[in-house]
Amino acid sequence: MKKMYGITTAMLTPLDSDGNILEQQLKDYTDFLINHGVHCLYPLGSMGEMNLLTVDQRKKAAEIIIDTAKDRVPVFVHVGATREEDTLLLAHHALEQGADGIGIVTPSYWPFKQNEVIGYFERIAKTLPDDFPIYIYNIPQYTTIDMTTDMMKTLTTRCKNVVGMKYSVGNMARTQEYLKIKTNDFSVIQGGDLLLTLAMTLGCDGVISGYSSAFPEYFVQIWDLYKEGKLEEAKLLQNKITDIVSVLKKEVSTIPKLKTILKLRGMDIGVCHKPFLMPTEEQENQIITHLKHFEVL
């Protein structure tokens, strides 16, 4: 059973101004990430504008990415949706298309009880093969639902295919609790880009990185430096990335900013789905100046 490891890129989704998927750009972008050395791909999650896409769009994007990446890097498709029925459709579609595994975000909006959340995941997992890996995506600051350690222990005991978690909170004490779960050879992947070196030190298997969608080679370099025992160099490079992506933090949302940076780096993948707004011309010029200052343009 394959698992996520190393630098797993949380992919952006190429879109035109009408919200349609740019299919050729998606193929080119998938190649771009693989050619820059990322270890796994994680499309159609938060960075992929998941809840702004239709089920059919998500299916089409998954098909393109899985086909383009075939036999080169593992692809773990995020399939979580607002409706359980849609999550099931997307999960089985990913399996049929040859994905290496899936991620599923917790239910959201309503403050569901623990047994309701566990039941949601269990029903989905039981419809899939025991050897098809499922990662639970825990991002309570967006969903209102927090998968506690005890909830994860219960779920992994009941479902052999629940093998890991993407934890997108910077709570290192909780991360250590998750790392103590031994059922199903449980794997913890950090969802905070800027916690990469710390997460690796604790024993996480890697990071699902949104910023690597625009700077894949730098995150791969951080990973390699850490593996070579060059921790200080890895930290310095991570700090540089932190400074780079801080530009216009209050003025421009992260996904439009990353798509703009990609365009400036020669990989134009279009715009974002509404209600996201792309940077103005003035803001884009500020981004250009900022990137040149850090010598990444």
Q: How far is CA 121 from CA 71, 169, 204, 227, in A?
A: 29, 20, 23, 34
Is 137 in the active site? yes
Kind and range of the H or E element at 76?
A: strand 76-78
**Is 208 annotated as a binding-site member?**
yes
- Within 8 A by CB and 6+ apart from 175, the residues are 167, 188, 190, 199, 202, 204
From first CA to last CA, the distance across the chain in angstroms is: 40
Beta carbons within 10 angstroms of residue 72's beta carbon: 12
Which residue in the list 166, 167, 178, 211 is annotated as catalytic? Answer: 166
Which residue in the list 29, 120, 137, 226 is annotated as catalytic? Answer: 137
Q: How far is CA 240 from the centre of its chain?
A: 21
Among the listed residues 42, 94, 38, 100, the one whose alpha carbon sits nearest the alpha carbon of residue 74: 100
Counting every residue, how long is the chain? 297
Among the listed residues 214, 220, 179, the one whose alpha carbon sits nearest the alpha carbon of residue 199: 179
> Binding site: residue ranges?
208
Give the residue numbers marked as catalytic. Answer: 137, 166
Annotated binding site for pyruvate: 208
